[in-house]
């Protein structure tokens, strides 16, 4: 059976750390409020010169190296981002040039925080159709650029970073097993960023939609894959808010330790949050080769979805 298997994974976050205590100095907020309402303790912020493709580059290089490949082996580069280097060319074009790829198909995906799992789904289809052998899927964001640093309800939440995987054509039972992707444009007003302006969010509304959409998509993807939840070693959800993650665990009737979170370190890195979380969970041995894992995300659009894979 031909599958699209994750053969390499990488991540990169900029070194500059902004803690809740740093934010207390510029906003009417407190470490206590941010910690209890979101679970976030600190986030990474890019330097002024750093663009999404700059953050993506080390993550992609690591993923390609771990896959035992070189950039010349990459047939397609997909970058999920809401904070692209430019409107066009795509961040994927900049990234593939920086990587020294051999003129791959390259394009960006705009699906906000669901972008990475949308990208995995597209990469999976390319491989299953026989079109490509190796697809690089990246989530890379510099949300610090679109944050209104005077708005305490959003400034404390987001951070910058990048994560990447290589999807490769493989024979066997390991790889992406199912995907359930959805969108509903009628909810666009709960989370959006007009061109050239700053991000706006209706937090409470987004909160409720997030839990429900990830629960529904997770169940649908499990059903499609024919895998019982008990078989899943780890759920890796989009890192938006620890209360959302815990509520999802409760709805899925999973112990909290089976639902990964590293939001305390990075905040919400939008499309980069799942590959960064997957990278750290793997390094921390929360799952291993051959384990079933479930990825689920939601974001502006609204967009949402889930992917089940055998790692
Ligand atoms: O990737 C998807 C991205 N978005 C999300 O996932 C967001 C989902 N929503 C959330 O995570 C939460 O709704 C927030 C963390 C954004 C807000 O938490 P909340 O518990 O829903 O708070 P709230 O918006 O209902 O605000 C409660 C109070 C308000 O004050 P009043 O009206 O009760 O006096 C806010 O003005 O907290 C106030 N507040 C703050 N106080 C201190 C809002 N932001 C802050 C802040 N520091 N940073």
| Catalytically annotated residue among 113, 124, 134, 241 | 113
Which residue CA neighbors atom 14 of ligand 1 most closely?
A: 203
Which residue CA neighbors atom 35 of ligand 1 most closely?
A: 153
C-alpha to C-alpha distance for 118 and 179, rounded to whole angstroms: 9
What backbone torsions phi and psi does residue 196 show, to the nearest 5 degrees? 80, 5
Rounded to a whole number of angstroms, the distance between the first and last alpha carbons of the chain is: 15
What's the gap in Å between 203 CA and the centre of ligand 1?
6
Active site residue 268: yes
The residues of the chain that CATH labels 3.40.47.10 are: 2-171, 175-310
Give the per-residue pLDDT at 247.
96
Give the per-residue pLDDT at 159.
98
Q: What are the average pLDDT values for consecutive 10-residue runs of the chain, which has 311 residues?
A: 97 98 97 98 97 98 98 98 98 98 96 98 98 98 97 97 98 96 96 96 93 97 96 98 96 93 98 98 97 98 97 97
The pocket around ligand 1, CB under 6 angstroms, is made up of: 29, 33-34, 37-38, 113, 152-153, 156, 191, 201, 203-204, 206-207, 210, 240-241, 268, 299
Which residue CA neighbors atom 20 of ligand 1 most closely?
A: 37
Give the per-residue pLDDT at 256.
85
Question: Which three-class secondary structure state does DSSP give residue 19?
Answer: strand
Task: Identify the CATH class of 175-310.
Answer: alpha beta
pTM above 0.85? Answer: yes
What is 2-171's CATH number?
A: 3.40.47.10
Give the per-residue pLDDT at 241.
97
What's the gap in Å between 23 CA and the centre of ligand 1?
15
C-alpha to C-alpha distance for 116 and 108, rounded to whole angstroms: 10
Cα angle: 6, vertex 54, 14; to 5 degrees: 90
Give the per-residue pLDDT at 8.
98
User: Could you give the maximum distance between any two Cα atoms of the chain, in Å?
Assistant: 56
Active site residue 241: no
Pocket test for ligand 1, best of 82, 114, 148, 153 (most atoms within 8 A of CB): 153
What's the gap in Å between 153 CA and the centre of ligand 1?
5
What's the gap in Å between 33 CA and the centre of ligand 1?
9
Give the per-residue pLDDT at 192.
97
């Amino acid at each position: 059976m031909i599958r699209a298997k994750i053969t390499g994974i990488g991540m990169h976050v900029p070194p500059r750390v902004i803690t809740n205590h740093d934010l207390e100095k510029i906003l009417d907020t407190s470490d206590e409020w941010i910690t209890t309402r979101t679970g976030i303790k600190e986030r990474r912020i890019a330097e002024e010169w750093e663009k999404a493709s700059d953050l993506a580059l080390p993550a992609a290089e690591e993923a390609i190296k771990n896959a035992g490949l070189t950039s010349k082996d990459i047939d397609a580069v997909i970058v999920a981002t809401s904070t692209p280097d430019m409107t066009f060319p795509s961040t994927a074009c900049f990234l593939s040039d920086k990587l020294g790829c051999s003129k791959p198909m390259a394009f960006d995906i705009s699906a906000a925080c669901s972008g990475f799992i949308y990208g995995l789904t597209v990469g999976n289809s390319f491989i299953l159709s026989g079109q490509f052998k190796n697809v690089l899927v990246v989530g890379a964001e510099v949300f610090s650029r679109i944050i209104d640093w005077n708005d305490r309800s959003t400034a404390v939440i987001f951070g910058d970073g990048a994560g990447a995987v290589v999807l490769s054509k493989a024979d066997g039972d390991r790889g992406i097993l199912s995907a359930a992707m959805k969108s509903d444009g009628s909810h666009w007003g709960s989370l959006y960023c007009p061109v050239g302006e700053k991000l706006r969010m209706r937090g409470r509304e987004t909160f409720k939609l997030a839990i429900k959409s990830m629960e529904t998509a997770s169940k649908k993807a499990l059903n499609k894959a024919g895998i019982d939840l008990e078989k899943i070693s780890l759920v890796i959800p989009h890192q938006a808010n620890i209360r959302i993650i815990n509520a999802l665990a409760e709805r899925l009737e999973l112990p909290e330790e089976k639902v990964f979170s590293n939001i305390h370190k990075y905040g919400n890195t939008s499309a980069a949050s799942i590959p960064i979380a997957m990278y750290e969970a793997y390094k921390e041995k929360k799952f291993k080769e051959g384990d079933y894992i479930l990825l689920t995300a939601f974001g502006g659009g609204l967009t949402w979805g889930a992917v089940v894979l055998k790692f």
